[in-house]
Structure formats: structure tokens, C-alpha cells
A = this chain, B = another copy of it.
């Protein structure tokens, strides 16, 4: 089984490394702006880096979940490409947010769009499999047949 999902696993490992990078940036920012744990408030520069990392962490499980659902039920290739785009968008989001609250917006919107594409892939893939397994309906086959008749 592990050979069929190695593309997804590679994107996953990249994602983990990216999160590790973000976490290290927060540690450096805590030192630079003298904000000792458990405090999470301080100069705006620190708070932006802290929130950027918190936001990326919050979305990480959702990203991993849709990456794999989409990869297993729709297409490993398409999901892996979207996954790489998402990780790139998150990198630009983190860099942008570190500089200004405004700078986070464009990459944030882009990352959200990529996430919606992965959610769409997951919905289509799971729906098609669900219909085939539980309703014994070949949605895709019927659609193709219907299109051929017209």
C-alpha cells in the first residue's frame, strides 16, 4: 500500500518540515522581542509572527486530512500538486504576515482557494466511491453513458 501513497507522504513530510520552520521562527521572535512563555502578547511584530504560526498550525490538520482524502479517493497526482501549491502559499503567507498584517492577505486567499480545490476533489472522490459501494450506482459510468446518448 505504501507505494501507492508515496507522493502524498512526500508532501506530508514537506508540510511537517514547514511547520517546524514556522515554530523555530516563533522561538527566535520570542528571544528577539523578549516575550517569555506563557505570555503570547507583546510588540505587534511578535504578535504577527505568533498568529501566523498559530493560524498555520490550526489549518495543518485540515490540510493533511483533505490531502489524503483527496489523494486516496480522487487522484494522488492532482492532490500532491495542490498540496505543494498550498505549502508554497503558506510559506508566502508566513513571510507576508511577519512583515505586515496586510501582507498576509493575498497568499492567505490563495491558500484558501487551493484548500477548497482539495475539499472539492475529496467530495467528488468520496461521493463516487460511496455511490458505488453502498448504492451500487456507477455515477461516472452512467454520466458518460447519458452523455453518449445525447
Could you tell me which A residues sit within 8 Å of B by CB distance? 1-3, 6-7, 9-10, 12-13, 15-17, 19-20, 36-40, 44, 47-48, 50-52, 54, 57-58, 60-62, 64-66, 69, 72-73, 97, 101, 104, 119, 122-123, 126, 129-130, 132-134
Minimum CB distance partner of A132 in chain B: B3
| Complex: A69 Cα to B130 Cα, angstroms | 20
A47 lies within 8 A of B58 (CB): no
Interface of A, secondary structure class, is helix
Q: Is the CB of B9 within 8 A of A126?
A: yes
Is the Cβ of A101 less than 8 Å from the Cβ of B36? yes
Give the distance in Å from the alpha carbon of A58 to the alpha carbon of B58 in the complex. 8
> What would be 20 A-B contacts, judged by CB atoms less than 8 Å apart?
A1-B72, A2-B129, A6-B73, A6-B126, A6-B130, A6-B133, A6-B134, A9-B69, A9-B72, A12-B122, A13-B66, A16-B62, A16-B66, A16-B119, A16-B122, A20-B62, A37-B51, A38-B44, A38-B51, A64-B65
